[in-house]
Amino acid sequence: MATTATPATPYLFHRHALVTRITHWINALAIVFLIGTGLNIFNAHPALYWGQFGADDDDARRWLEIGSADAPDGSAYGFLRIGSLTVHTTGVLGLSKGSNGQPSAIGYPGWATFPGVRDLATARNWHFFFAWVLILNGIAYYAYGLATGHLRRDLLPRLKELRPSNIVHDIVSHARLKFPKGEESKRYHILQKLAYGATVFVAIPAMIFTGLGMSPGINAAWPWLLELFGGRSSARSIHWIAANFIMVFILVHLLMVILAGPYNEIRSMITGKFRVDPEKA
Amino acid sequence: MTDSPKILTRRGLLGFGGVAAGGMLLSGCDKLLQSDKVNGVVRSAENATYRWQRLIGRDALAREFTAADMSPVFKANGTRDPQEPEYVAHAAEKFVNWKLAIGGLVSNPMTLSLAQLRQMPARTQITRHDCVEGWSAIGQWTGPQLGLLLKAAGLKTNARYIVFHCADNYGGELSKGGAQSTSIYYESIDLVDAFHPQTILAHGMNGAPLTVAHGAPVRMRIERQIGYKQAKYVMGIEAVSSLAGFGSGKGGYWEDRGYEWYAGI
Ligand code: HEM
């Protein structure tokens, strides 16, 4: 019945180049540590502002805060405040169980941070080490991806892929947990391209440029960088927003790997070989 | 379908392995901190950052703002009211008998009164202060350039760092975490920052004499570095060839407690 030349038996297809695989895992390691240390850094001043500056008294500039307070009955609770919206987050944000088992007033809980206790000095040492790793590894990845056309060919969405009908079709097949088989499984479909593209072309560069922009030394050398983001407190806010995007991306990415077949997917990122199954299993 | 049981076991193993590795990662991460080798590699990033920033902007000026950009309230942090008897006595007399000592590897060691410092040509700059905790504030600072004083004192050729000795016995801050203990605050910078035109001994802030909360009578402004470098309550300035003899030898109160000596980020 098949009209395509798909072989009837599964076969291995060389999916990921060596450079892609190496930079992928270095990137994964760096980002795990950048998130853990970043959340620890955030805990030193768990509030975000818009503009050139922002500190305790700048209420009008503060748009996000994680903290703890006392309820009228005297019990402590943790909260996340965004604008005028306050959500109680006891147990996770603002107030959580500390390493001694007692409730502790801290932004992000110890299990989400690196180190697992409040330690701004170590968190900064490690954040800036892995910032270097992320940037150097990123340069290798982008240079390779541009030179070989990998970025343009495999990650950049084509105009016709962006047609609403195609996007809707992809959303529907994802919702039904139907992943492409055969030849179709060899390339990224539109939702995948949008997720990877937003991460590779927007979120990671945003992390790097807001991170560099916040450095007072870089700010002196390249003042235009911070202006691009509207000032240091804005850059810090955007750094946090992009970090959240990356955290959501990682969760969805891991979920998709598990749903699409973790053995084949993970093998393809280690050995490069991806098993292509025929259209009808 | 025939080989699916095998795939399932492989998948199962892989999934189990993944979860186990994740769990080990989380609980084992903090163990990494105990390895000197790992810490050595991680701490090498500071030198890379230092060299890189000197390369791209050795003489670059920190951005200066206008009066309209200033923070309505400039947060005072760290020590806000030193309790050391010598300092308390100086503060009670409005610092009329306070003297700044400039010494170490200089050919003309000298002491300067606050009145003398105020008579020197001053630089006024509106800059952004970036605290290591994550907040920022914009304020105006006035005072003589450190470079001017060092030229008058005549730096010897073997001088490599400038150390600032402060009046306050500081005990750290919860939000900054880590190993914290009490000792006299001090700081240090290299000669590039020492002779940078925006590096001043600020005796004025926001158009008024510097207040005790912000470091009276004199505090440092080293505009291309983080807040903890901006030593308050400066009593002495010493030119040295090595930082080994001070505190734990890392070049500053916070540096001795794990923070980077080069705090350009
Ligand atoms: C995927 C990469 C990264 C992630 C997930 C990440 C995450 C975070 C988070 C969550 C924070 C604390 C909240 C905030 O200030 O926004 C933070 C702080 C910071 N990050 Fe990153 N980061 C990343 C990459 C970088 C890079 C490449 C640099 C530098 C080149 C950098 C420099 C900084 C700085 C300077 C701060 C401290 C800001 C402050 O509180 O003063 N980050 N990071």
Unique residue bearing structure tokens 């701490």? B43
- pLDDT > 50? residue B6: no
CB pairs under 8 A between A and B: 168
ipTM of the predicted assembly exceeds 0.90: yes
B65 pLDDT band (50/70/90 cuts)? very high
- Residue A108 carries which side chain, given as an amino acid letter? Y
Residues of chain A under the 70 pLDDT cut: 1-7, 280-281
Alpha carbon distance B171, A278 (integer Å): 68
CA–centroid distance, A73 to ligand 1, in Å, is 38
> Which of the residues B63, B73, B226 would you substitute to probe the A interface, choosing the one with the greatest number of A C-beta atoms within 10 Å?
B63
Token pair of B118 as six digits: 């105020």
Q: Reduced to 3 states, what is the DSSP secondary structure of residue A14?
A: strand
Q: What is the mean pLDDT of residues B62-85?
A: 97
Contacts of A119 in chain B (CB under 8 A): 177-178, 258
Q: What is the model's pLDDT at position A182? A: 87
Across the interface, of B42, B132, B137, the residue whose CB is closest to A129 is: B42
Q: Helix, strand, or coil here: A91? A: coil
Residues of B in contact with A126 (CB under 8 A): 42
pLDDT at A142: 97
Q: What is the pLDDT of residues A172-191, one digit of tens each?
A: 999 898 888 888 889 999 99
Whether A115 and B25 lie within 8 Å, measured CB to CB = no
Verify whether ligand 1 is closer than 6 Å to residue B48 (CB atom): no
**Domain A11-43+113-276 sits in CATH 1.10.3720.10:** no
CA dist list (Å): B90 to A136, B40, B83, B114: 52, 43, 11, 11
> Which positions ≥6 away from B42 have C-beta within 8 Å?
A125, A126, A129
pLDDT in the model for residue A181: 87
Structural tokens at position A95: 């107030």
**B window 68-107, beta carbon within 8 A of A:** 69, 71-73, 75
The CA A37 to ligand 1 mean position distance, Å, reads: 8
Residues 182 through 221 of chain B touching chain A, CB cutoff 8 Å? none
Residue/partner pairs of B92-97 with CB below 8 Å, 24 or more apart: B95/B216, B95/B217
DSSP state of A155: I
Q: How far is the CA of B49 from the centre of ligand 1 (A)?
A: 15
With a 6 Å cutoff on the Cβ, whether A107 touches ligand 1 is no
pLDDT computed for residue B220 by the predictor: 98
Structure tokens at B256: 């001795």
Query: Chain A residue with minimal CA distance to B177?
Result: A119
Give the Cα separation of B167 and B165 in Å (integer): 7
Return the pLDDT at B22: 55
Sign of CA dihedral A99, A103, A104, A110: positive
For residue B16, pLDDT beyond 90: no
pLDDT at B176 (0 to 100): 87
Strand ranges in B57-173 using DSSP code E only, listed in sequence order: 99-104, 110-113, 123-130, 136-143, 161-170
Amino acid at the residue A44: A
Q: Quote the domain boundaries for residue B36.
A: 30-257
Residue B22 lies in a domain: no
User: What's the pLDDT score for residue B21?
Assistant: 55
Residue B87: give its domain's CATH number. Answer: 3.90.420.10
Look at residue B1 and tell me if it is in a domain. Answer: no
- The CA distance from A155 to A202, in Å, is 12
- Whether residues A120 and B177 touch (CB distance < 8 A) is answered with yes
Length of chain A in residues, anyone?
A: 281
- For chain A, which residues make up each domain, given as ranges? 11-43+113-276, 47-112
Tell me what pLDDT residue B24 has.
53
Predicted local confidence at residue A280, as pLDDT: 61
Q: Is B179 exposed, middle or buried (0-12, 13-18, 19+ CB in 10 A)?
A: exposed
Which pLDDT score, from 0 to 100, does residue B177 have?
Answer: 83
Ligand 1 centroid – CA A259 distance (Å): 31
By the 8 A CB rule, do B250 and B261 touch?
yes
- Best of A118, A239, A241, A247 to mutate for ligand 1, by most ligand atoms within 8 A of CB? A239
Are residues B53 and A216 in contact, defined by beta-carbon separation less than 8 angstroms? no
In angstroms, rounded to a whole number, what is the distance separating the alpha carbons of residues A246 and A242? 6
Cα angle at B94 between B88 and B98, to 5 degrees?
75
Is pLDDT of B2 > 60?
no
pLDDT for res B129 = 98
Residue A46 main-chain phi, psi, to 5 deg: -80, 60
**Domain tally for chain B?**
1
| Ligand 1 neighbour A131 (Cβ under 6 A) | yes
Locus of tokens 């410092």: B117
Q: Does B224 touch chain A (CB under 8 A)?
A: yes
pTM: 0.93
What single-letter amino acid sits at A265? E
- Measured CA to CA, the distance from residue B187 to residue B230 in angstroms comes to 8
Minimal Cβ distance to B69: which of A52, A215, A266: A52
CA proximity to B200, closest of B132, B122, B126: B122
Which pLDDT value is given to residue B115?
98
Question: Do A55 and B135 make contact, defined as CB atoms within 8 angstroms?
Answer: yes
pLDDT of residue A180: 86
Is the per-residue pLDDT at B27 higher than 90? no
Distance CA(B22)–CA(B42), nearest Å, equals: 22
pLDDT tens digits, one per residue of B234-256: 999 999 999 999 999 999 999 99
**Which strand (E) or helix (H) includes residue B186?**
strand B183-190
- Closest chain B residue to A48, measured at CA: B135
Q: Can the peptide bond before residue B217 be classed as cis, meaning omega within 30 degrees of 0?
A: yes
- Domain assignment of residue B5, yes or no: no
pLDDT of B8 reads: 41
Which residue of A lies nearest to B133 if distances are taken between CA atoms? Answer: A44
pLDDT tens-place string over residues B159-215:
999 999 999 999 988 888 876 899 999 999 999 999 999 999 999 999 999 999 999
Tell me the sheet residues that pair with B202: B219
